[in-house]
Amino acid sequence: MDTRTRVNEALKQAMKDKASDRLCTLRLINAAIKDREIAARGDGEEGGISDDEVLAILGKMTKQRNESVRAYEEGGRLDLAEREMGEIAIIEEFLPKQLSEGEISTAVKAAVNETGADSIRDMGKVMGVLKSKYTGQMDFGKVGPMVKDQLCTAGGC
């Protein structure tokens, strides 16, 4: 079952359960997916969006909420921070399991070997391979510096 179908099934169940907070978050997810589909149609793409794109949308939503949590905590608005953390928990139900530091390190080494990357100029190739295989499973903002370190230790800096 693809991610979008799982979200729709969860939405129906939340309606039956009268879980208003969960329902609100699931509707936000659906709206984000539909927005992306509309944008894709405007760009001339046929059909719907792929499951990888849905996972990327969910990852982006999680990242935005994490930033909001930090801002709310700094501003002393713990009630709003808690609400955002609740939304994060619901969104993460639809994301694949996040990789550990060791698994990420192994994936980076494998991607470097697969692409034959030997300098920092090949970073885009390595990131492309990682994104194609591990969308939703790792934070690419944190992975970028790891790839850079790996390529620098290979003598490409």
Cα–Cα distance for residue pair 65/86, rounded to 1 Å: 10
Q: Which domains can be identified in the chain, with CATH numbers?
A: 3-92 (1.10.1510.10), 101-153 (1.10.10.410)
pLDDT higher at 48 or 107: 107
Average pLDDT over residues 116-142: 85
pLDDT digits (tens, 9 = 90+) for 2-20: 888 999 999 999 999 999 9
Average pLDDT for the chain: 88
At residue 149, the pLDDT reads 87
The answer to whether 136 and 56 have CB atoms below 8 angstroms apart is yes
Give the predicted TM-score (pTM) of the model. 0.73
b/e sequence 117-143, b meaning 16+ C-beta within 10 Å: beeeebbebbbebbbeebbbbbeeeeb
What residues contact 81, with CB distance under 8 A and at least 6 apart?
Answer: 68, 69, 72, 73
Q: Is the pLDDT of residue 121 over 80?
A: yes
